Chain A
Amino acid sequence: GQQVMQIPQYQHVQEGEDFTTYCNSSTTLSNIQWYKQRPGGHPVFLIQLVKSGEVKKQKRLTFQFGEAKKNSSLHITATQTTDVGTYFCAGADNFNKFYFGSGTKLNVKP
């Protein structure tokens, strides 16, 4: 069945350092979404990537979708304490059924 793996499980960084989380699927995805969940909160949508090789930026966040549409990454430049939370990728094998990665929990020390 569909599997979406995400690494690392945890990342502790000093404020100002960069952070990257990686997402890999066992099958080709139609699209991939990224979410952020603060402790005790619900997932909040960050972005969706649809095209092979697509790169999108949101301020300090850079998202990439692999050429084969089986992997993706989220990179945060110069982390801030407001970046604390768990980041999830969610891949779809069609546009209606999403498989979430297990998440990367980011802790930022001031």
Chain B
Amino acid sequence: NAGVTQTPKFQVLKTGQSMTLQCAQDMNHEYMSWYRQDPGMGLRLIHYSVGAGITDQGEVPNGYNVSRSTTEDFPLRLLSAAPSQTSVYFCASSPVDASYNEQFFGPGTRLTVL
């Protein structure tokens, strides 16, 4: 199993550009989520999904869109990039189980917006 994969690893954008960060998992996990990590601020939840066709907003959803058409994939779209979106983005997945839902994180995408 590859686990959780993310592409690209690094990306530089200009203000106003749009792009999609890709995330895929091969563990048949129902739950997938996107976080951003900024220095000294831990990880903040952007959007999450509890299954194909179902998405919901996290703590910091503005400026980002998601969709979940399959169990495996959960892309994150930046509609019009801003310098404030410079961050490290992590995708995570886990089974939906109230008693045990370890989150498996991908390697991250380091995004710089100029």
Q: Is there an interface contact between B43 and A88, defined as CB atoms closer than 8 Å?
A: yes
Q: State the Cβ distance, B83 to closest chain A Cβ, in Å.
A: 22
Given known contacts A48-B100, A50-B99, A101 and B42 CB-to-CB distance under 8 angstroms: yes
Q: Is there an interface contact between A45 and B43, defined as CB atoms closer than 8 Å?
A: no
Q: Is there an interface contact between A42 and B41, defined as CB atoms closer than 8 Å?
A: no
Task: Name A48's contact: one of B56, B90, B101 (CB within 8 Å).
Answer: B101
- B38-69 CB contacts (< 8 Å) to partner A: 40-45, 48, 50, 56, 58-59
A101 and B33 CA atoms in complex are apart in Å by 17
* Interface range on chain B (Cβ under 8 Å from partner): 20 to 34
Neighbouring A residues of B106 by C-beta, 8 Å: 42
Q: Does B108 contact A (CB under 8 A)?
A: yes
Q: Which residue of A lies closest to B105 (CB)?
A: A42
Interface bits B67-108 vs A (CB < 8 Å: 1, else 0): 000000000000000000000001010001111111111111
Chain B residues close to A by CB (< 8 Å): 31, 33, 35, 40-45, 48, 50, 56, 58-59, 90, 92, 96-108
